[in-house]
Structures are given as structure tokens and as C-alpha cells.
């Protein structure tokens, strides 16, 4: 029998209780939800993640844990083993991986997935509920993978190098209100299926659907697609690397004018070519050049070169939400932290689109801030600077110190120039590379104050940079 070693660590099973802080010191209530998928119901935001974990919040700052593990008494599914016995048996597992949640036909549809873990033996199915917090009842599987030496969903013999691992579903509507599902992890890549909005299942005759990228076991997973009517682009978010603390997990994006692609990065690479070589497992070097890397391992340092406040390790598997009432985009993801092993928490950052129509992520987690006009005096000063680069690496990018001077020059660890554009736009030239981005005053948890920060994307590259202004400068 054909065998395939996946080597994904199911470290996210090791949940810890949510940490609760006093609101006096401005620290939020944190929760653990791996692979968070977001939905807003009335005034409340919900995230659903792996292992039937879930949490909710009214402000995206303070969170309440709803559930943490697929055990009896889980609030979403009171008896998961019995409710999903067929799916768990097929996938040869006792747990659940990254789900998605969407409202269809006045019901909540929970798209669950299960996977064996050391191979792409997996399934995707639907569970429904009249209430967002459940209980959810299984409506059955509709997509499977890992049927070794047997006919797969497209009628050909299953081949993990070209066929998908049927996990990580994301359901979304295109600009014509048609329903789609993008899915896949490692294995044969990321695929797209046209869905029936009445049944919630794929339209017949598609097999596994259209391949968008990946293959030959390249470490690409967690796809999520949104459409921005202002830029008229579909944005395909992805996670590269391995999810564990030493896996180099990072968030990337590509875009297309058509939901079915082709998707391109900022260097004009067609993402269909982002795949590993046939001779090598987990060929990270082959896929590193593809996709705009928005966020990876980093640690902000203060002026005394000491670790200060925010730092993430293996951030990834994101979802995105546009809040019409707030007129804000948010990106949701899980992350680990420097020196804290495999422990992970949910994070929410505000997200914007720069002048070139690429998404940029605020350097600090959301704390209720709203973008506005900033003066030159607001901007001038010393910054902790991060260049996220393009590599898939377990190395943590430590910030360096740069200064944005009143004459438009940049000095410090790197030299260059900067220019304020419009009300909150900024152009920067650093070490010979040109970047376009936005300015936003955000809450710095280490300084316990609001600071000006910038987030930008290379004008002709796949790199993102961050700057966070330091105190007393």
C-alpha cells in the first residue's frame, strides 16, 4: 500500500485555560482556538477552531471560551464520538481539524473535517444547528481523501502528490453571490469547488474541483478567500510551513480578478507554480518565492535591545472578516510565542489595503483603534523595525532600530527615506527597496500606551515591513 508520512504534529490538542486579566492594565481576556474561523451573529463575533474549540467576543478584545476539546459535554456537540462516528472511523482519528462556519438557509452550517494526521486520510462534512452555539447535528460527509490504491473523488486512483488532503474548508460567496469552497493542506495542494447554496454541498461532476496551487507535499494549507469590492480582487490567504513552534508557520496572500484564478503574487508569479519538487518532501525552498508574506516569526525589542511586548511564533491559519458597521477589516489567526513552547492563543489584528491594493496587517493586536489623519510631527521618531522577509524559517526576526527624521530621511540600523501620503498613507525606501503602506495609532502592550506604527508591502516584492514607534523620542 502506498504510504505517505505527513509529520504534522497535533500539538494544538494541548489546550490550556483562557487567561483572564484585569481591565485596569488594559490587557484583554485571551483564549485558545487553533485555526480560527470567524462569523458575526448580531453583535457577537464567534471563532470556531480545531478540536471543536470555540470562543466569542463583543469587542474583539475580551474573549470568552465556549469549548476546548472534542470530549463528551462539548457545548457545540455534546457527544462528538457518537455524532461523528462515521467520519472519525474513515479518517482513523478521534479529533477534528480546522472547520469553517457559515449561515445558509436560516441555519448555521459547520463544515468539519477529520484527518488521520500522518497521512492524508481525511474527510469534510456538514453539521447544522438552529443556534450559533449549537448543538450541531451531523448531516454527513461529502468529500474524502486517502483512499489508497482505490478510485478517488475524480475517478482516478488516489495519488497524494496530486490529489488534495480534504481538510481546511473555507466557504465564501463571490461578488455574484455564488457559493464556493476552497480547501486543502499539503499533499496535492489547494483546490476550489463550486457549491450549491441550498444543499451546502458541491455541485455534481467536479471531482476534487479546480487546483489553485501546491502539490508534491509542499507545506501550504489553511486557504481563505475574500473579495474586496473596492479593489475588485479576490484575495487568497494561505499558511506556509509547519504549525509547531519550530515549523516556521507564516501567513501569505495572492490575488486574482476571477474567483477561479489564476492567482498571482506581487512579483507576478502565477501561484499554480507554487509546489514542491517530485523528488523531495516538504520542499520549502521551492515555494518560498511565491506569495506575499504578511506575517511570520518576530519579536519587538525596545531601545535597550531587550525583548518588549509583542512577539509571535508560527502565526497562521487565518480567517478574515469585513465589518460593515465599523467599516474595518480584521484578520484572525492563532499564534505561539517566544519561549512559550506549543502554547497558543487567538489574535485579532486590524487589516488595511494599501495604494497598490494589497492587504497590510497592523503591527499590534486590535484594541478598538480607528485609522485617521496623522501629522508629520506624529510620525517623526524612533521605531522598532521588522522586515518579515520571504523565508519559511523557525528563526525569530528580532526588531532593529530606525529613526524617521523630519527631513524625510531614515537613519539607524538601516538607511533610506520616507514620505507621508494622503491622510494616513506612507511610502518608505529602506535598504534600496520601496514600500507602500499605511499609518495607524495602535495600543502597544509593552509600553502601555498608544503609538504610531506603520505597515507596508514592497511595491515590487513579496515582503512586508512593520514599524512601531518607541516611547520618549
Q: Give the residue numbers marked as catalytic.
A: 35, 221
Q: What is the spatial distance between Cα 255 and Cα 261, in angstroms, rounded to a whole number?
A: 8
Backbone angles phi, psi at 50, to 5 degrees: -60, 155
In the block, cell 452555539 appears at: 133
Report the Cα 209 to chain-centroid distance in Å: 22
**Closest residue by Cα to residue 284 from 266, 296, 298:** 296
Find out whether 160 and 4 touch, Cβ atoms under 8 Å: yes
Contact 229, 175 (CB under 8 A): yes
Instruction: Give the phi and the psi of residue 91 in degrees, each rounded to 5.
Output: -80, -5
Q: Give the helix/strand (H/E) hosting 112.
A: strand 107-115
Q: Convert 444-459 to b/e letters by CB count within 10 Å (16 or more is b).
A: bbbbeeebbbbbbbbb
Q: How many CB atoms lie within 10 A of CB 22?
A: 7
φ, ψ of residue 83 to 5 degrees: the values are -65, -35
Instruction: Assign 287 to helix, strand or coil.
Output: helix
Q: Provide the 3-class DSSP secondary structure of residue 317.
A: strand
CB atoms inside a 10 Å sphere around CB 27 = 15
For residue 235, the tally of other CB atoms under 10 A from its CB is 22
Nearest to 75 by CA among 93, 61, 55, 58: 55
- Whole-angstrom Cα distance, residue 252 to residue 255? 11
Please work out, in degrees rounded to the nearest 5, the angle formed at the alpha carbon of residue 282 by the alpha carbons of 457 and 458.
10
**How big, in percent rounded to 5, are the helix, strand and coil portions of the chain?**
5, 45, 50
Phi then psi for residue 51, to 5 deg, are 65, 30
Contact 179, 197 (CB under 8 A): yes
Cα-flanking dihedrals φ and ψ of residue 377, to 5°? Answer: -65, -35
Amino acid at each position: 500500500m502506498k504510504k505517505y508520512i505527513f509529520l504534522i504534529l497535533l500539538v494544538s490538542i494541548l489546550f490550556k485555560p483562557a487567561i483572564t486579566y484585569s481591565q485596569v492594565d488594559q490587557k484583554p481576556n485571551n483564549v485558545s482556538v487553533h485555526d480560527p474561523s470567524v462569523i458575526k451573529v448580531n453583535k457577537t463575533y464567534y471563532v470556531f477552531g480545531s478540536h471543536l474549540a470555540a470562543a466569542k467576543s463583543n469587542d474583539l478584545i475580551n474573549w470568552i471560551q465556549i469549548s476546548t476539546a472534542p470530549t463528551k459535554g462539548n457545548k457545540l456537540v455534546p457527544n462528538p464520538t457518537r455524532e461523528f462516528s462515521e467520519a472519525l472511523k474513515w479518517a482513523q482519528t478521534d479529533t477534528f481539524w480546522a472547520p469553517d462556519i457559515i449561515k445558509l438557509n436560516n441555519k448555521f452550517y459547520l463544515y468539519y473535517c477529520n484527518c488521520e494526521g500522518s497521512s492524508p486520510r481525511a474527510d469534510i462534512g456538514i453539521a447544522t444547528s438552529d443556534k450559533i452555539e449549537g448543538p450541531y447535528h451531523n448531516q454527513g460527509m461529502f468529500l474524502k481523501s486517502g483512499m489508497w490504491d482505490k478510485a478517488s473523488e475524480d475517478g482516478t486512483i488516489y495519488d497524494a502528490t496530486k490529489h488534495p488532503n480534504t481538510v481546511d474548508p473555507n466557504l465564501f460567496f463571490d461578488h455574484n453571490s455564488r457559493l464556493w469552497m476552497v480547501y486543502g493542506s499539503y499533499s496535492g495542494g489547494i483546490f476550489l469547488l463550486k457549491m450549491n447554496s441550498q444543499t451546502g454541498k458541491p455541485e455534481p461532476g467536479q471531482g476534487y474541483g479546480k487546483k489553485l496551487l501546491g502539490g508534491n507535499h509542499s507545506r501550504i494549507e489553511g486557504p481563505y478567500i475574500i473579495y474586496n469590492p473596492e479593489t475588485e480582487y479576490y484575495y487568497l490567504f494561505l499558511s506556509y510551513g509547519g504549525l509547531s513552534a519550530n515549523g516556521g508557520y507564516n501567513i501569505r496572500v495572492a490575488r486574482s480578478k476571477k474567483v477561479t484564478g489564476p492567482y498571482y503574487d506581487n512579483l507576478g508569479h502565477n501561484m499554480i507554480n507554487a509546489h514542491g519538487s517530485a523528488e523531495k518532501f516538504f520542499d520549502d525552498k521551492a515555494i518560498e518565492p511565491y506569495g506575499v508574506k504578511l506575517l511570520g516569526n518576530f519579536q519587538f525589542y525596545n531601545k535597550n535591545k531587550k525583548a518588549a511586548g509583542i512577539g509571535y511564533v508560527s502565526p497562521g491559519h487565518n480567517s478574515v472578516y469585513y465589518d460593515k458597521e465599523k467599516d474595518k477589516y480584521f484578520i484572525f489567526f492563532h499564534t505561539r510565542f517566544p519561549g512559550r513552547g506549543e502554547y497558543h492563543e487567538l489574535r485579532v489584528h486590524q487589516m488595511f489595503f494599501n495604494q497598490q491594493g494589497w492587504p497590510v496587517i497592523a503591527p499590534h493586536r486590535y484594541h478598538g483603534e480607528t485609522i485617521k489623519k496623522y501629522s508629520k510631527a506624529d510620525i517623526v521618531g524612533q521605531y522598532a523595525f521588522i522586515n518579515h522577509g520571504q523565508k519559511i524559517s523557525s528563526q525569530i526576526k528580532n526588531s532593529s532600530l530606525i529613526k524617521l527624521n523630519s527631513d524625510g530621511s531614515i537613519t539607524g540600523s538601516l538607511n533610506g527615506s520616507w514620505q507621508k501620503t494622503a491622510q494616513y498613507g506612507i511610502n518608505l525606501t529602506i535598504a534600496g527597496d520601496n514600500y507602500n503602506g499605511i499609518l495607524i495609532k495602535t495600543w502597544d502592550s509593552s509600553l502601555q500606551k498608544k503609538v504610531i506604527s506603520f505597515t507596508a508591502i514592497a511595491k515590487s516584492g513579496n515582503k512586508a515591513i512593520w514599524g512601531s514607534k518607541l516611547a520618549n523620542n
